[in-house]
Amino acid sequence: MQLIDGKATAAALRSELKTEIAELRSRAGRAPGLAVILVGEDPASQVYVRNKERACAEAGIVSLPYRLSADATQEALLTLIAELNRRADVDGILLQLPLPGKLDAQACLLAIDPAKDVDGFHPENVGRLSLGLPGFVSCTPAGVMELLRRYNLSPAGKKAVVVGRSNIVGKPLAMLLARPEPWANATVTVCHSRTTDLARECREADFLFLAMGRPRCITGDMVKAGAVVIDVGINRTETGLCGDADFASVSPRVSAITPVPGGVGPMTIAMLLKNTVCSWKTRCGL
């Protein structure tokens, strides 16, 4: 069984980006810039934002922090986004979700310039993904695909099952896997809470992707022998973080698996940096 080390892969990717930024910085005339908007004081969001800003600094990306109080108005938020859309030194705009109170997240995401939408949540980028056009892809599913590539695990021609159909993980991941491209070309089934026989669907998967948010829900008897299991789930339990797979019973049966923590999680921030660098290069004509 191969353990897919997302922590090491993300560190390698971040170091490659750091080198690339250092090499291109003088030609660009400036460092890449990521605006990070945090509204309110949700402790989990504060931790995520801090981690993102630290990763930016380490790679040589300037993070521009914008902190708004929980009672900020929709208008104030939209005015800020409009200003960041205009600014030449801002390559990416990250709006940390969820938003507190009555703020309309969809309206705010729609206001972000798709060319600066490094989270890949804007409907234009989602549409581009579904049409197979270039655009920003949501960081967690993009991180999953990067892990497959770097571990030489090709789902081409194989049966892939994605459990979860959210807009930020399950749905874009299913679209990426079905793309007519090397390292995709999978035959994809999407499962959700109304799937009649989840165990049967999972047992048919050569590649099983879990994005349910249900701690240790998928057990060894639900997995095909020799399958590749990518566990996106991050669940807080009394005994610490765990994934959607019951690692103890699943890992002995499979050919490769991501641990939780240390699997897909660290890839998400690395892909955010990658998208920001990509935007920077395009905007600076590099």
166 binds ligand NAP (CB under 6 A): yes
**By CB under 6 A, what part of segment 102-141 binds ligand NAP?**
140
Site string for ligand NAP, 200-229 (x = CB under 6 A): -----------xxxx---------------
> Which CB atom, from 116 or from 165, has the smaller least distance to ligand NAP?
165
Q: What distance in Å separates the CA atoms of residue 104 and residue 99, rounded to the nearest whole number?
A: 8
- Is 148 one of the binding residues for ligand NAP (CB under 6 A)? no
- 226 closest CA partner among 255, 258, 256: 255
The active-site residue out of 96, 117, 171, 244 is 96
Whole-number CA gyration radius for the chain: 19
120, 137 Cβ separation under 8 angstroms: yes
| Binding window for ligand NAP (CB under 6 A); candidates: 21-29, 76-84, 96-104, 162-170 | 162-170
Tokens, residue 35: 């605006």
In angstroms, how far is CA 253 from the centroid of its own chain?
27
* Residues between 55 and 94 that touch ligand NAP (CB under 6 A): none
8 A C-beta contact, residue 202 and residue 236: no
194 forms part of the interface with ligand NAP (CB under 6 A): yes
235 binds ligand NAP (CB under 6 A): yes
Contact pick of 30, 50, 192, 200 for ligand NAP (by CB under 6 A)? 192
Return the half-sphere exposure (C-beta side, CA atoms, 13 A cut-off) of residue 4.
31
Whether 104 sits among the annotated catalytic residues: the reply is: no
Contacting range for ligand NAP; rule: CB under 6 A; set: 15-23, 149-157, 233-241, 248-256 = 233-241
- Minimum distance between the CB of residue 249 and ligand NAP, rounded to whole angstroms? 17
170 binds ligand NAP (CB under 6 A): yes
- The reply to whether 119 belongs to the active site is yes
Longest distance between any two alpha carbons in the chain, whole Å = 57
Beta strands in 89-224 (DSSP E): 92-95, 159-163, 187-191, 207-210
Q: Which of 57, 227, 230, 247 is nearest to 140 (CA)?
A: 230
Among 44, 9, 81, 23, residue whose Cα is nearest residue 277: 23
Residue tagged active-site, from 5, 91, 117, 119: 119
Binders of ligand NAP in range 248-267 (CB under 6 A): 264-265
Extract the tokens encoding 190. Answer: 């999407």
Count of residues that interact with ligand NAP, criterion CB under 6 A: 25
52 is catalytic: yes
The site for ligand NAP (CB under 6 A) is made up of 140, 163-166, 168-170, 191-195, 198, 211-214, 232-235, 264-265, 268
